Each structure stands twice: as structure tokens, then as C-alpha cells.
Structure 1
Amino acid sequence: MRARLRWVHLILGGALLMPYWLVGTVVVGPLLGSGNMFSNSLAVQFGAYGVALPIAAATALFPLARPVSVAVAKALCGVPAELFAEGPARSRAARLRTSGWFTLHVGIGALISGATLALPPFAVSLIVVPFFPSLRDWLEMPHYPAWQLALFPFAGIAMLIALAACAAAAGALLARQAQVLLGHTPADRLAAAERRATELAERNRLARELHDSVGHALSAVTLQAGAARRVLDSDPDFVREALAAIEETTRRTVGELDSVLGLLRQDDDHTTQLGGPALDTLDGMLARSGVPVSLIADGDLAAVPAPVSREAYRIVQEGLSNALRHAGAPPVSLWIALRGEELEITMENPLPGRAPAVRPGGGRGVRGIAERATLLGGHAQAGPEGALWRLSARLPLAGRR
């Protein structure tokens, strides 16, 4: 089945060369003294063939030639689809490869097509002519001895086998070259790698948003619910405040979650800017974080560019989540300051008396903070310093995004 499809592919190549061949006969015919473009002269026919191939190669330099060639080769060459490059040929190397493939396709296809048209009738005639004397007379064949006529059928069968073998070999050659000439060029691979890197970076960015937003909310809600449960009978006013904080936290988090999920559905746009809370909403988050926080702000935080402000908010949020998760709601000291062209964030909280519980996989909060800072061209680090856990980040105001 595959060999038959490749044979069809070769015949299609011969058909595609026909317009170029007709142009070639117009050029070559007068040069060889033939006034008939359909001359039976082999010199005219092969001369036109030689002129047609460069013209075909030139027309295949157009970018859209590659997707057409790829579509045909996928269907008829039996080559896995993932080995072909997608889209128009943009680079010079890709256009030259496509031109080489098209020229090879139509050039070999024309030869196989011509042989397919001419050889079978001749071979069949050789097979049957020994059995029909009248056919020999009609063909005006010379007299051959009987032993020579007995060889004619074998010669005809050999021609048909040779034609099939040549077609199979030519089809296999085209299939091998399709992977090279219609496959991915270095520029294609680089572009694909850049697209994958962009998509992966966007996925990681959305994952950080979900982790920081939902993780902080769950930590705060867990702490507030636990505290309310312990004083449920003795301090109803505190329970009401805790439930109000839980309600506000979950409402805000649902809104943030809906925003991120909406971006995930936008499959055709991987560069959409994330919205979300920024430093101007920091007071509300600190008041309901479940951690006592002393904030010292130095500078006009409202002047911080929006991308940097959003990332700074998430860094603070993740720092508070870590304090809740690992230290059990200790007092936290937070400094946010504008220093020239940078925003500095420093957060400290006492280390717990016991070793913090370690989640399977080690958690992703500190790593996410470092990634956020790096993507903006800054840096962040976190770790124990004496009896304190210290988080520090420096974010350029002219962030990369």
C-alpha cells in the first residue's frame, strides 16, 4: 500500500512539472529548429525537461510552497507527521530546502510518470505478440526465429518488474529526503524551542499565582478557623471576627482564582498580562492574614510600576504564608522601601521552637519567590539567620516584563 501511494506521489510530481515543461518546449523548440512544441524529438523533450527544472526550483522558493509540499508528502510518503516542519518557510535555508525537495519531486516524478505511460503498453505487447501472428503483421515486425519470440514475454515481464522496482526505489528516496528537506531547520527548531519556553514560562507564572493566592488563603483560613474553634464558647466576639476574616479571605481568593483560570482558557494568547492585587491593597491583606504584622513603608509605594507592584504583593503574601505554615502565626516585621531604582522587601519572623513540618516535595513557596524576583531582573533569598527567619528581595522598578 505504501509503495502504491509513493508511486501516486511520483506521478503527481510528473503532473506538476507539465506546465514548466511546456514553457521549456517553447524555449528549446526554436533553438533546436523544431516548430512543433509537441515534437517527438528526444532532444527537444529532454531539453525542455532541463529548462523546466530550474523554473520549478525558482517557484518553490515562495514561503507557501512548504506547507503545500508537506501536506502532500504527509499523505503519500508514509513519513511520520512529526518529522515535518509546520508553516511557511521563513528562513533562507528553509526556502532552499523546500525548493530542493520540489525540484527532486517533480524531476524524478516526471521520469517515473513518463516510464509509467510508455513502458506498460510496450511490455504488454512483447508479452502477447508471440501468440498472435496477426499482431506481428499489424505492427510490421520483422521475422524472428521461434526461439527469439519465446523470449519476448520474459523481456516484457522484466520491464514491468524493473518499472515497479524503479518506482519503489524512487519513492523510498523521496521519503528519505522528505525528512531532510521538509523537516525542521535549525531556525525552525530554535523558533519551536522559543515557543515552548514562552508557554512553559507562562504556565509557571500562572502556577505561581495559584500557589501563592490559594496557598496563603488556605493557611490564613486554617489558622483563623483553628483559633475560633478553641475559643468558641469563651469568646464569641473573637469567633465572629475570625469568621468575618475567613469570609473576606475566601471571597478575595475566589476572585483571584477566577481571574487566573480565565487566563488559562485563553489558549491563543500566552502573553496576556496578569491582573490581581498590588501593593495598594497590601493593608487589607495584612489585616486579615492571621499574622500580627508590623509594617514600615519608606517611599511612595503607589508609584511602583504595576508589574513590580503585583510581584511584590505576591512575595509578601508568600512570606506570610510561610510564617503561618511553619512558625504558627508569629509576629512578623515587614519593611518595604524604595531605594533609587529598586524596591526592597525585608520580612523577619521568629523561628519556631520545634522543627517545622516538611511537606512531601519540600514545597514551592521560596522557589516561587526567587523565580518572581529573577523574572523582574532582581533577586531574592530566604533562610534562617540566628533565631529569625529572614526573607529579602530586591526588585528593579524597570522590570523585564
Structure 2
Amino acid sequence: MRAFARPLFGRRARLRWIHLILGGALAMPYVFVGAVVVGPAAGGAHVFSSLALQLASFGVGLPLAALTSLFPLTRPLETAAVRWLCGVDADRLADGPARGRAAKGRTAAWFTLHLGLGGIIAGMSLAVPPFAAVLIVLPLAAGLWDTRLGLPEVFDHAWALALAPVAGAASLLALAGCAAGAGALLARRAPALLGPTPEDRLAAAEARAADLAVRNRLARELHDSVGHALSAVTLQASAARRVLDSDPGFVREALAAIEETTRRTVGELDAVLGVLRDGDAPGTAPAPTLAADLDGLLRRTRASGLKVSATLGTAPESLPPVLSREAYRIVQEGLSNALKHAGEGVTVTLRVEVRDGHLEITLTNPLAAAPGPRSAPRPGGGHGLRGVEDRARLLGGTTRAGPAEGIWRLHVRLPMRTAARPTARPKGPP
């Protein structure tokens, strides 16, 4: 018995019934407009006194409903109603207004179907229960039917009176069955008519790609900024510890470099984390560039005990901001790799110059003769060069890195024209 009643009166069936009644309520304004058209066409007859004229008004109003479904809010509202009342999975439905002719046509078809079936079920829900109640109690009030109810003459017969309650109960079951069937039909057609179109899937894919690009950029910023700072601070502290008694001046310089490195890194970290906090504005730490902080980067790196020889073939101030910022991160990562992997006492050579319309960055250092503390790999490392390659590729440049003739060489070539397209960079921290 429960298995029979659940499809007709279960929670899902009741919610779908409510959805249909909402469709009937939405259809009423269109029916009234249709009545204004049908009434004069029928010679001024009262539309709601005739079932045929009511159906005609309903038929005139449905095309009007299809036209108004083109409003942008129609699909989001219908999708929300279907998700909550029809039990359709959210991932099978499209979000946002309909885009393109195909999506608008499907929305119009759905809206017409919803209002059409909803109007029929809502009308039945208003008419059938009172009629069924009369039939159920008719045997108990048989003496009243001829004077007050005006029932057909068939109920003069005793067998008709005896079957009246059965007919009333059957009418209620038929109403529930029609409502359940119409609700199931709408739930089955909803993904096809309200589901994502190819345009919707493309827009969703673009949104996911943009989000992934932002996440990748945040990961690069964290790796380049925090990773370099931790490597530099570790080596600065190690160098200061080794000469603590013999060279107090170097120790003071190393401690000052540690303080400056950590202060700058905390500012950059706050800028990156500000993007990750919902509702929080990005931090206001200035974007590091070659023009703003190349000298400071070299000074802090040298305070770690690494010798750096830098040659600038162009003024950093002349570089476009986007190019200067990305070049700074590339130089920072190259120096960070040298800090971690170069041997003791080696000199890192940095050269930055403009040649043939490209900014060229070259870092070289002799290969370590034997593994030392700096050349020991750290767990989870090995992403620095990949980040350099990603930055260069986004700017349309190239990267070459590897050992050659006893030296390690990193060469990055960035086209100067990329600075004219700053909007190509995904939205993220500076």
C-alpha cells in the first residue's frame, strides 16, 4: 500500500504538485489577457461561464507566456524552482540568463509547458476536490440533491447512490495521478529544456579556466616570494652564525638583510592572501619590479654569502611595468636557485639587456664540484624553473635552462611588445 501511495502522495510528488500549482498561478494573468481577446470575438459572451471559452482564453494566453519568457530572469527563476521542487540535480541545470537563440527557444518551450500543465492541474485541483466530496457524502444526504445540488437524474437510482463514494474517491486518485504524471514529465524534460547549452558550457569552461589561471598565478607568487625569502633568510642566518665571532660587521649586515627580507615578504604575502579571503580586498603592498627593488634584491642575496656580479645593459626604469614585474620574479627565482644549489664561494653572473626588441635575462654560475648544504634538494621543491617557464610563456617569451660546459645557465627572452597587453594577465595580486 505504501509503495502505491508514495508516487502519488509522497514528499516529492507533493512538491511537484506545488510546482504545477505555481505554474497555474503564473498562467492566470495570461488567461485574463486571453479572455479580453476571446470575449469580444465570441460576441461579448461571459468567458468564464463557458468551459470552451475558458480553454480558448488559455490557448491565446500561452503564446504570450512564451514571448515574456525571453526576459533574462525567467530561466534563473525557473531553474531555482525546478531544483527545489522537482528534485532535479543542480549540475543538470543551467545557471544565469539564457544566451543565444537555442537557449532562449528552450526556455520559451519550458515556460509554456510549465504554465500549460500547471494551468490544467491547478484548475483540476480547484474543481475536483469539491466535486469528489459531494459524491462521497451523497448517500448520506440523498434527500438534498434534487433541491439544492442539481445532480444528474442518474442519481435517482439506488445503485448510483451506492457507487457515488467510489466515484468520488476515484476522482481524487485520478487527480493525484494526473498531478504526479505531469510533475514527472516536467522533471524529465527540465534538463533538456533548462540544461546548459554549448554556449553555457563554454562560458562555464572559460570561468573555470580564469579561476584556475588566478590560482596558478597565486601559487607562483607564493612560491617565488615566500620560497626565495625563506631560502635567503636560512642562508643569511647560517652565514652569520659561522662568522659570529670573527666578523661582527658581516653579522650585522646579515641580520639587517633578514629583517628587510621578512618585512617585504610579509607585505607580499598579505597581498596574495587578501585575494584568497572572500570579501577582502587585495593587500596594498607595492608590486616588486626591477626598477623598484633590483638593487635591494641583489644586496639581500649578497648578504647570504653568495657573490653576485650584475651587468645591466638597459635602465630598469625604462622597462614597461608588466615586463619589469615579471622580470623581477624571474631574476628572484634564478638567484633563489643559485642560493640553494650553487657551491660555496662561487660567483653568480647576472646580465639584463635589451636586444632585437626583447628583454634578455641571463644568470650563470659554475656547477658545484661536490654536493654541499646548498645543493641538497628540499622536499616538495623543483617548481621554480616551471614557474619561470610559465611567466615567460604568458608573455610570449622563451626559457632555456641547464648545464653547459661546467656552468649552469638560465636564459629568458621576453618580447617588449607584451607590455602593451597588461589585460591578458588574469586578475590576481600585483
Same topology, TM > 0.5: yes
Q: Which moved more, 1:171-180 or 1:220-229?
A: 171-180
Helix, strand or coil: the match of 1:398? helix
Give distance in 2, aligned partners of 1:126 and 1:221.
Answer: 90
In structure 2, the CA distance between the partners of 1:133 and 1:58, relative to structure 1 (3 Å rule), is same
Residue number among 278, 281, 285 corresponding to 2:289 in the alignment: 278
Q: CA deviation at 1:130?
A: 3.2
Q: 1:259 to 1:89 in 2, by over 3 A?
A: same
Report which stretch shifted further, 146-155 or 62-71: 146-155
Q: Is the 8 A contact 2:274 2:281 kept in 1?
A: no
CA-to-aligned-CA distance 1:275-298 (integer Å, 9 cap, x gap): 421112212211220321112222
> 1:344 matched to which residue of 2?
360
* Alignment partner, residue 95 of structure 1: 104
Code of the aligned partner of 1:39 = S
Separation in 1, partners of 2:22, 2:234: 70
Please point out which of 14, 20, 29 is paired with 1:10: 20
Q: Residues 141, 37 of structure 1: CA spacing in aligned structure 2 closer, same or farther, 3 A cutoff? A: closer
Q: Is 1:396 aligned to 2:411, yes or no?
A: no
Give the distance between the partners of 1:22 and 1:367, measured in 2 at CA. Answer: 67
- Return the match for 1:224 from 211, 214, 236: 236
| 1:310 and 2:321 aligned | no
Q: Following the alignment from structure 1 to structure 2, what is the Cα–Cα distance between the partners of residues 268 and 194?
A: 24
Q: Note if 1:198 corresponds to 2:210.
A: yes
Residue number among 101, 104, 113 corresponding to 1:104 in the alignment = 113
**Alignment equivalent of 1:163, drawn from 175, 183, 188:** 175
Using the TM superposition, give the Cα deviation of residue 51 of structure 1 relative to its aligned residue in structure 2, in angstroms. 0.8
Q: Deviations over 1:84-135 (max 9, x none)?
A: 3333334333322222221111100011111112222222222232343213
Choose from 372, 376, 400 the match for 1:381.
400
TM-superposed CA distance for 1:269, in Å, is: 7.8
1:267 and 1:370 mapped to 2: Cα distance?
32
Sequence identity (%):
61
Give 3-state SS (helix, strand or coil) of 2:349's partner.
Answer: strand
The ranges of structure 1 where at least 4 consecutive aligned residues each deviate by more than 4 angstroms after the TM superposition are 266-270, 272-275
Residue in structure 2 matched with residue 147 of structure 1 by the alignment: 159
CA distance in 1 between counterparts of 2:267 and 2:136 reads: 83
* Equivalent residue runs for 1:1-400 within 5 Å: 1-40=11-50, 42-138=51-147, 139-142=150-153, 144-265=156-277, 267=279, 275-280=286-291, 281-289=293-301, 290=304, 291-328=306-343, 330-355=346-371, 356-399=375-418, 400=421
Q: Please list the CA deviations of residues 219-272 of structure 1 after superposition, one character each: whole Å capped at 9, or x if unmatched.
A: 1111121111112122222222222222222222223223333344475889x9
Query: Structure 2: any 5+ residue segments left out of the alignment?
Result: 1-10, 423-430
Residues 217/350 of structure 1: CA separation in 2 closer, same or farther (3 Å cut): same
The alignment covers a number of residue pairs equal to 399
Structure 1 residues 140 and 372, CA, compared in 2 at 3 Å: closer, same or farther? closer
CA shift digits 1:290-346 (9 cap, x unpaired) = 321112222333221101111101101101111111124531111111113211111
Shift in alpha-carbon separation, 1:326–1:171, aligned structure 2, 3 A? same
1:336 is paired with a residue of what secondary structure? strand
Separation (CA, whole Å) in 2 of partners of 1:183 and 1:17: 23
| TM value normalised by structure 1 | 0.92
Unaligned runs of 5+ in 1: none
Task: Give the distance between the partners of 2:92 and 2:285, measured in 1 at CA.
Answer: 35
